[in-house]
Structure 1
Amino acid sequence: MSARIVFVTGTGTEVGKTVTTAAVTATALRAGLRVAVLKPGQTGLAPDEPGDVEEVGRLAGTGPSLTLRELARYPEPLAPDTAARRSGLPPLAAEDVAKAVADLADRHDLVLVEGAGGLLVRYDEQGRTLADQALAVRELGLPVEVLLVATAGLGTLNSTALTAEALTARGLPLLGVVVGAWPDAPGLADRCNLADLPRAAGAPLLGALPERAALAPDFPALAAAALAPALHGDWDATAFGREHGPA
């Protein structure tokens, strides 16, 4: 059986992509899978600073069943194409990402590819994006899915729908949506969006990670409680909606 390959993108920056990637990693490891996490382009960090893949390892727990890999790093906190151009470092080619994914897929059951920012952030001078990286993987004959991390409140429906439309236009399947940081005190918009997000996405809601999830003393247990069975967790969207939806 071929590996499952999931590209993790967001409706924007700082929406909880890394903590969601870590949560999916943790539940997959709990299910006994061999997992690889790939960060194609890391920006905003010096060479010796821990990046997103190190954060995934810190949260999910490292071990022989987990591989963490980063392909390129640029020091300024900008879009990868801009950061590469300003640093004088080579940009990240979609074909190189696809080759790395294929290599990891040969040795793992699940490959998670965490993007930078949203789906259409540029990675090179040709304007190729995370979506183009996913298409390059598919051109190698490998199956690809996309997991979308969204915010809970006002504005999320539009950005979710736009991302879903962009994926549909490219023939890339949207696995589902995860709320990257469910607020401790949700407002009316947050509560209503529990039902509206899957409508906007045309895909199921597959989890809701609480705010400050990265500070949890037992992150793998939290991940299992916050992600749906499709992501190897125990979270029930219907029950969560009954508890947190609008009155």
Structure 2
Amino acid sequence: MPVLVITGTGTEVGKTVTTAAVAAAALAAGRSVAVLKAAQTGVRPDERGDADEVARLAGAVTATELARYPDPLAPGTAARRAGLAPVHPHEVAEAAAKLATDHDLVLVEGAGGLLVRFDAAGGTLADAARLLSAPVLVVVGAGLGTLNSTELTARELRFREIGLLGVVIGSWPDEPDLASRCNLADLPEVAAAPLLGALPAGAGALSPADFRSAAPGWLSPRLDGSWDAEAFRVREAP
């Protein structure tokens, strides 16, 4: 798995922090890691972007950003409003493939969800994943409403014949409600893919040292961690 594409079911589901956790676990396992942010939106030139945040939390990763647009919008829209060139899926794929020649693992983080448009032709992160023949990790919410968005994302991946590695809950609440606890059993069913981790709420606020130490415990062995999905489900079951 030299390249792994990471998307979310929407915004604010914990995608960047999950990317950092995957990177930290891989580094702890002795692997070299690069992080590629396909298109950064809503950030000024002098501000830290998502790739920078992953590097801050995870440690010694190669952080790369293909494009940056100031408005907090879909990349294609943000590029158009800024009068800047958009990012195309083939450019994302080419950059990831180049990074893969020098790194054990390349994490490609999208913007928003799987089908957020990069350019006027309707190019998306899904198109880049298809070009790369890379599996996709989907970061999902914990609570009510996540099953629908997770199943829609999983169905689109299957329709496009793109591999779905699994799903990770991007922010597991300190006091999960009934829907969140039931979703531990339902999420793998609607995704037809395994649950590969659950990050605690507020993980991104930890110090980098604490984050790196804890990250493998939030992710399954498939992601270089030690998290046990069944034990977690039993512990949190309603």
Q: What TM-score range do you get, normalising by the shorter chain?
A: over 0.9
Q: Quick one: distance in 2 between partners of 1:222 and 1:115?
A: 24
Q: Is the 8 A contact 1:228 1:236 kept in 2?
A: yes
Q: Quick one: distance in 2 between partners of 1:176 and 1:4?
A: 16
Give the aligned length. 236
Q: Give the root-mean-square deviation of aligned CA atoms.
A: 0.8
The answer to whether the aligner puts 1:203 opposite 2:170 as a matched pair is no
From 121, 146, 157, the counterpart of 1:167: 157
From 29, 32, 38, the counterpart of 2:30: 32
1:108 maps to 103
Q: TM-score with structure 1 length normalisation?
A: 0.94
Q: Is the 8 A contact 1:213 1:222 kept in 2?
A: no
1:242 maps to 234
- In the TM superposition, residue 10 of structure 1 has moved relative to its aligned partner by 0.3
* 1:125-174 deviation per Cα after TM superposition (whole angstroms, max 9, x unaligned): 00111001112223xxxxx1100000000000000000000000011000
* 1:163-221 deviation per Cα after TM superposition (whole angstroms, max 9, x unaligned): 00000001100000000000011000000000000001000000000000012230012
Letter in 2 for 1:7: V
SS state of the match for residue 197, structure 1? helix
2:131 maps to 136
Q: Quick one: distance in 2 between partners of 1:80 and 1:129?
A: 10
What is the percent sequence identity of the aligned residues? 62
Q: Quick one: distance in 1 between partners of 2:197 and 2:185?
A: 12
SS state of the match for residue 159, structure 1? helix
2:89 maps to 94
Q: TM-score with structure 2 length normalisation?
A: 0.98
1:75 maps to 70
Structure 2: gaps of 5 or more residues? none
- Displacement over 6 Å in runs of 4+: none
Letter in 2 for 1:86: R
Q: Is the 8 A contact 1:216 1:222 kept in 2?
A: no
